[in-house]
Structure 1
């Protein structure tokens, strides 16, 4: 027999795993889009806020806040001149110990030595250089001076190579010689790489011999160069952050230490190579430290290097530059600064962005983020639910056309029979109602066997036989239910939406956008036989497609060209001559523009006579087509009121002045009313 062993699927993602759930993310984006935000801005807001729902993932703003708090804490750690301060203290101690030894000696040699100490320069580095060849009389002073030189050697090397301070803790000459060999080997490796001769094997041999000197364990030469360059740039920023006098002293100390250790040439070669490879690290830029405690050179360099990393991370998390993507955020920098949980949160945000595109909700067109038809349908459903949440719920089974005949299509719903109904009888629901009623009343007679039971349909549904008997089941008038149907004839719907700048100024643009999506979704999903066209108008008018509506923005132009919009709407109605015409206009201002004979838009405010005459001419054409124009005014401007009253007089349509937040309720209700009322 064949034997099989089952385990976890390892060849890529699990093909049977359910798709990643992005519905919450899309709905959160949809809230912003329906409030008038562009899709790319809505996604950016979502990534900034995070997902506080079931997954409870932090957003970029929370990470950014933590990064800024970390930067403030680093700046408050201490001062950058700690090594200079400690070096001066040790130097003063050594000189004091030497003077204490010389003071009891009355000889000339003691006086000469005191004179030499009196003439030492005030610059710490120059004083140390002068005393490097001094023959100390005091053993304590000699030990203090050696401790000073050892401190400087360790601090200077630690500022260039993190962790070197601990490696040179015991002043072992062999350890110092090993440092020289490491720097020589490192420079040779960089030279080979510059000539294109470096291999990974070379790097592996270097790390086998000197890897303990690099605690961050770089995997290749590029990572090693990056680590060393960041630290060297931080040391350069440390020098730039000091006063000119402090900078000169510290630079002199560093030069003295490197010369004494025989590393001056190798360190200079390394610094030049690092600067040429990473000129982007902000060399020489000062950094402000506000703490009170003095920091050694190594600790100060580490703090400055971390501050530089946090500055880069802050810029990446801010996403405030063109073409910003979450892929720009360095995951390792997030882990160092904020910990593992932040890395998981970042991965979740990245997955949301990727899955929205992969699952077909978002797409990029020439670098611009757009919603797909799939996403627009979901947003339209959300907008429609908001509208219907405000509407008064009708009777169960209530529909737009109660006198539809049997030729109408079934909607799948049923309701109680009413006198005059011609819809087909729902036999199953009718008999079920009778059985339940009989059982509750306890008045049911003996029923026939199931194999012979039948139900006698009691005549035409317009006149059911009260208390008729169907093999033991008593049918009452209240038991009858009929199938809902709708007529096959459709409506040609035109929604004209004002896109002018005044809509934004009055705060009505977002609700107009929601209303547009809600009505389009209602018509296409519930009344697919209807033909809807959305027309936006400002200085010109244009037809808006479904995918364009969600990302639609207002036009920062002058003009409310209702004349052009009515011309486009008229063509839509003419293409559907057998459809019931419905024209709905949403605006906050009177017409202030019209099309000239050459097709160009002419703006005039107050409205010119030509604008009003041409617009009313299109209104008269709508009247002759049998289309009633219903206006939804989002402002109470005197000229607008006068204009729509004239339109209502000439056309017979109605005028509404809803609150902005109830616009969707008014428009959808009016559309349903017109559908129910047409003959």
Structure 2
């Protein structure tokens, strides 16, 4: 094939969302949001908090807002507004000094005329504007002095135009009379177009004709008269705020000097007409604000207007980043403005945060419940449960080591015996017995096992198993206020989620009930428990919780009852006959009596009971130890961070007598 004489040009993709952009990673966001939800925040508030904090390697809204405020502060502290006045004063001083030197050198000049001129130069007003205006009709004797004075007019003309049209100061440097005439013609046509637009009489053809004639003055390349008005009004409003940010003396000086712009009073009249039209067309712009500049770096009128535009843009970004207005979404963020003010990295961070917000709300991780509030969806709960279960597996592996026997898929519990393999057996091999059989057979046949070992069907033995009884499991969790006050609220919820995910995905034959007990006890689904806010009511009504557990076990009579109790306090409440909760601290004997009686009923039904004691309260330690002894149960005292591993480990121990492989059930 011959070479193609063509070239390719590459740039940023501008046809919508970047099809090659990496997908948004929701794992960190979902974990953080779920953690806040479990701590008691609403899902919407939790999402907003994550977006404000950001991720491990990503700026959040608060950090971006802080950078916006710092840039605003830097602009005000670095700059002053006397740049144009200082430039004019320097040119004036240059002109006056050159003229005095010329008068001193000109010996042929009439002495009276020289004295008069010197007196006029000597007695110029201290006001720069008044001095410039007084010399407007002066007949300069020095060519360099005349040139310096004319540069004042040129500078003022370019500055007042640069206030309304960014870049005009540089574009008109060393401008010719034809250039100035072109500007005047543009202003005349622009005022006519805006006047027609105010009356509603303009057409698209009018705009296209104007742009064809004067488009070089508008690098923003507006596509309609509305876009043109937007750009001009923003700049004009910033120019007005600049004047109002000056001292009264500075403002009076500049207003007086403006008459000398290009030596043409008509220019200011045209600009005044333009400002009037823009105010009428865009009254919502900030035409009355002001700022306090405190720096030493003097700004000209055009540059100062640009800084005021930057400050206005920063203020808009600050409002967008606050997300404090009704219906706010991160899609409202002006990414182009953010990139201009803070750099492309800030825009990328904001775009990523917006993607997370969209994915969470539009991707099915948050959904509205029947009450209208946002909730974690079942999809989000499954993903969260899977993550928590994986973390629990790692904790168990580090505590107990990997076990040899596979739990998932096993026909039942191992009995410790083995037997010869038969066709159709699915039990795991007894590897030790199988290899031993092969060695014995090889030796009996006169072969040397050192030369290689060949397995035969008769060598294989499998472990004997017995059918595993399905379990009815109750996770009974304390939701008294001390659980939240001592930092155990979220670990308790994480534990419930991990156990729920394990049973719903790996042990579907078992049944799980989640029961909370505070002043009262109640059965809850996993969604309700996850969203449960910390309760401030007093009471640890274990009696009521055991009543509900007993009811659940009676509903599943063919299953092995397993009770897992998580608590950080002695019982301080019990249920009265009429259904009211009786609270007392310290615990009353009646509370202890009815609680123990209900536990005894569970023990007589063969319930496997494990207490998970949180904290080091001596009274609680004595109480749970005695309770466990009454029913042949166990007591585990984990740290809050290890609660999930402890509960899941006990559940698995009850099924597999302590032999399980974490990788099987957590994958």
TM-score, normalised by the number of residues in structure 2 = 0.77
Residue-by-residue CA offset, 1:395-452 (whole Å, 9 max, x unaligned): 43354xxxxxxxxxx9267999942779986558769999999999994999xxxxxx
Gap change, CA 1:605 and 1:216, over 3 Å in 2: farther
Query: Structure 1: which 5+ residue stretches go unaligned?
Result: 1-11, 400-409, 447-471
| Contact 2:419–2:461 under 8 Å retained in 1 | no
Give the length in aligned residue pairs.
624
Structure 1 counterpart of 2:488:
508
- CA distance in 2: counterparts of 1:516 and 1:107, whole angstroms: 106
Structure 2 counterpart of 1:384:
389
Larger CA deviation: 656-665 vs 598-607? 598-607
Q: 1:363 aligns with which of 357, 361, 367?
A: 367
Residue-by-residue CA offset, 1:631-670 (whole Å, 9 max, x unaligned): 3222223454455456446665443321112111221122
Structure 2 counterpart of 1:86:
87
Please state how far the C-alpha of 1:201 moved relative to its aligned partner.
Answer: 3.8
| Contact 1:438–1:444 under 8 Å retained in 2 | no
Larger CA deviation: 657-666 vs 384-393? 384-393
Matched, 1:310 2:339: no
| Contact 2:414–2:466 under 8 Å retained in 1 | no
- CA distance in 2: counterparts of 1:435 and 1:623, whole angstroms: 42
Matched, 1:662 2:663: no
Structure 2 counterpart of 1:396:
404
Matched, 1:517 2:525: no
- CA distance in 2: counterparts of 1:162 and 1:177, whole angstroms: 19
Residue-by-residue CA offset, 1:519-542 (whole Å, 9 max, x unaligned): 111121222122212233445544
Please state how far the C-alpha of 1:299 moved relative to its aligned partner.
Answer: 1.8
Residue-by-residue CA offset, 1:577-615 (whole Å, 9 max, x unaligned): 443333322232344556678877776655577766765
Residue-by-residue CA offset, 1:60-108 (whole Å, 9 max, x unaligned): 6776676567556655764321111111222233333444455676655
Gap change, CA 1:441 and 1:107, over 3 Å in 2: farther
Q: 1:227 aligns with which of 208, 224, 231?
A: 231
Structure 1 counterpart of 2:161:
157
- CA distance in 1: counterparts of 2:215 and 2:439, whole angstroms: 88
Please state how far the C-alpha of 1:280 moved relative to its aligned partner.
Answer: 5.8
Residue-by-residue CA offset, 1:449-479 (whole Å, 9 max, x unaligned): xxxxxxxxxxxxxxxxxxxxxxx93523xx2
- CA distance in 2: counterparts of 1:539 and 1:203, whole angstroms: 74
The DSSP-based 3-state class of the residue aligned with 2:417 is coil
Query: Structure 2: which 5+ residue stretches go unaligned?
Result: 1-14, 446-454, 659-667
- CA distance in 1: counterparts of 2:287 and 2:20, whole angstroms: 50
Gap change, CA 1:671 and 1:145, over 3 Å in 2: same
Equivalent runs, 1:416-431 vs 2, <5 Å? 418-419=416-417, 427=425
Structure 1 counterpart of 2:613:
633
| Contact 2:258–2:268 under 8 Å retained in 1 | no
- CA distance in 1: counterparts of 2:577 and 2:88, whole angstroms: 88
- CA distance in 2: counterparts of 1:352 and 1:497, whole angstroms: 33
Gap change, CA 1:127 and 1:31, over 3 Å in 2: same
Structure 1 counterpart of 2:462:
481
Structure 1 counterpart of 2:513:
533
Structure 2 counterpart of 1:375:
380
Matched, 1:131 2:138: no
The DSSP-based 3-state class of the residue aligned with 1:581 is strand
Q: 2:470 aligns with which of 484, 490, 495?
A: 490
Matched, 1:584 2:582: no
